[in-house]
Amino acid sequence: MKKIILGEDIVFLATDINLPGAVDWVMMQSCFGHHFMLVLEKQEKVDGHQQFYAIVQLIGSRKQAENFIYRLELNGNRRRLTWEATPRSILEGVTPAIMSSDCLVFDTNIAQIFADNGNLGINVTISVC
């Protein structure tokens, strides 16, 4: 059973981001009477280059998702990387967002700038439009 974190402003901690190969980290967030699934996916590209994709999905319809905005933020070493968008519906899956880069995208070099001992904290904020 996955733990559900309550609140509109939380930290999604992805541990051991240096694990080899493709890895997924998933967490549930609950706020404003809805559940959101937070996904961080690491993919290995053909050339050996690794890419991270972070996205928030609403457990609900696309119409319901349009009522919210999410912000993902990496902070550290006097740097900040932010992505803000409307969540996708869980019914759409993460693949279309990843294929079109309609999510927070960063490589391993960027991940290392923000990581602390191989762990990456992503600040997640959900807001009502």
**pTM metric for this prediction:** 0.93
Average pLDDT, the chain: 94
pLDDT of residue 48: 81
Angle at 126 between CA 83 and CA 3, to 5 degrees: 110
pLDDT of residue 45: 84
pLDDT of residue 80: 97
Averaged over 40-60, what is the pLDDT? Answer: 93
Q: In what order do the strands lie in the sheet with 79-85?
A: 9-14, 120-128, 68-76, 79-85
Q: How confident is the model at residue 2 (pLDDT cuts 50, 70, 90)?
A: low
